[in-house]
Amino acid sequence: MAEARLTASRGGNRAAATRLINRINTIVADVTITRAQKIHELQDKIESLEEKMATIANIDNAIQDELDPENVQAEIEAADTNNQTYRDARAGFTFQLKTLQDEEAAANAILAIATAPVVPAAAAATPGPSA
């Protein structure tokens, strides 16, 4: 009975993780969202995905504790195969987030250089009255 409840709970959490992955894919593909907004959304959604993955892993362990020993190996292999999808998605999204963050940092550096005040060379080299 507990095993069936745990399996159903894992199924619900897997469905939620899949919805998060789909939402992240939508955010990445949306050309109307600014880079800064994408960075914010990706950080938030990746964190939620990681939390969901941890919940699923905990449920996987609880299911394994309920199984007969001869069924544990098959359950571990099946869970790992399924969970690899989430790990791969997280790795891809983390890479996309890092790329966006690097682009944002480069754009901000260029903006800082372009808007920095220009100090004339002669003014900087002229000694003051105490010299």
Report the range of poorest mean pLDDT among 32-46, 79-93, 102-116, 117-131. Answer: 117-131
The amino acid sitting at 54 is A
In tens, the pLDDT along 52-78 reads: 999 999 999 999 999 999 999 999 999
Q: Which two tokens stand for residue 82?
A: 């399924």
In tens, the pLDDT along 70-113 reads: 999 999 999 999 999 999 999 999 999 999 999 999 988 888 88
pTM of the entire predicted model:
0.81
Distances (CA, A) of 9 to 57, 60, 102, 123: 12, 10, 38, 71
* Band (115; pLDDT cuts 50, 70, 90): confident
